Amino acid sequence: MYFSLVPDISYDEKPISYPFSESDFITAKNFFRRYKVNDDIFSYAVIFNKYTIQDGERPDTLAQKVYGDVFYDWVILLTNNMVNAQYDWPMSNYTLYKTLESEYDDPYGTIRHYETYEIGPYPEGLRVDEEFYNKTHKLNINGSIVTKPGNTICRPVTVAEYYADENEKKREIYLLKPAYFRQFVDDFRKKNLYKKSDSYVSQRLKKTG
């Protein structure tokens, strides 16, 4: 359904013959007209519901559950500014760990980086290096100077832990409430109609070259 709403563009591929006054034209979907939702729109709780994608759930199955039609999966992707569902949509846990196991010798034991705990001047999640982890540090905690080993200030994060955490972050999305769904689809359709110009052929087609 998404592709049926995207307008066409006809562009010249190559000149037909000398003196090149005519060209062969190819018609294709105009994907340069990308529809993007403003990030601040998600602050309007009246329009969206927060949703956590379940393990193994796909855009089409979620669209069926929320909007009653698998072909409205593009509404979920667009309203969350997902450009490529292959990378922007969370993997299932099974797929994630199978991918990691194929790309790393030991994703569960290989340390990717180190992160601090919330202690003294350090916020939780600050990335530090292995040298920081192995050193001893003097901290000012509530006005007192204390000495602490790095391994009590930060922790190692394995490759598997990092990618699992990043995958979990992708699960938190926004779903357009059904009451505003039709309005969004109609607005998307209208914004994909061409206005009259030198390249105008119809509301659904323009020609370049």
Per-residue pLDDT of 7-35, as tens digits, reads 555 656 665 555 545 556 666 655 555 55
Taking the whole predicted model, whether its pTM rises above 0.85 is answered as no
Are the beta carbons of 16 and 24 closer than 8 angstroms?
A: yes
Residues shown for the chain: 209
pLDDT at 33: 55
For residues 80 and 36, the answer to whether their CB atoms sit within 8 Å is no
User: Structure tokens of 89?
Assistant: 């949509």
pLDDT value at residue 195: 74
Structure confidence at residue 125 (pLDDT): 96
**Band of pLDDT at residue 200, cut at 50, 70 and 90:** low
